[in-house]
Amino acid sequence: MRVTVVRGDITAEQVDAVVNAANNAMRGGGGVDGAIHRVGGPAVLADCRARFPRGLATGDAGWTTGGDLPARWIIHTVGPNRHAGETDRALLVSCYRRCLEVADELGARTVAFPLVGAGVYGWSVEESAGAAREAFDAASTAVEEARFVAFSDAAYEAASAALE
């Protein structure tokens, strides 16, 4: 699997699936989650409600329609919230591992990732990228490209250093 890092807006990526850094409720939120729901439109929330009536556990992943996004699917994953006491790094690694497993179930070959857990959930870009690298190195997947999409120049530099 090829791992790349780009600077941009994950909602505009031309890939099979985009990964959403969701919250447990699976009803939209701020940051990446809010942007994906806004651009994806009401079909995304409707699919979240239908597929995840009780939400999703931390470290797990599931999929919905891409709605109005260029991507066909959204793979939602719930990262651990360090500020809420969820400091087990294995949960962060699990997010990336589960995303690849869901991508394989869907037949997705190109997947755009945010830096799960980095930002409001309190993990650094380096910690998130390191967890991704660990999951990817151990994965047996048909995904051909894992593309990390950094929203800021600082995140792009840190992710590039950690992943490439």
Classify the C-alpha dihedral 22-13-159-104 as positive or negative: positive
Which of the following is catalytic: 9, 16, 33, 104? 33
Contact 147, 132 (CB under 8 A): no
Residue with tokens 């409707």: 46
Strands 73-78 and 61-65: antiparallel
Number of alpha carbons in the 13 Å side-chain half-sphere of residue 20: 34
Active-site annotation holds for 33: yes
Residues identified as active-site:
33
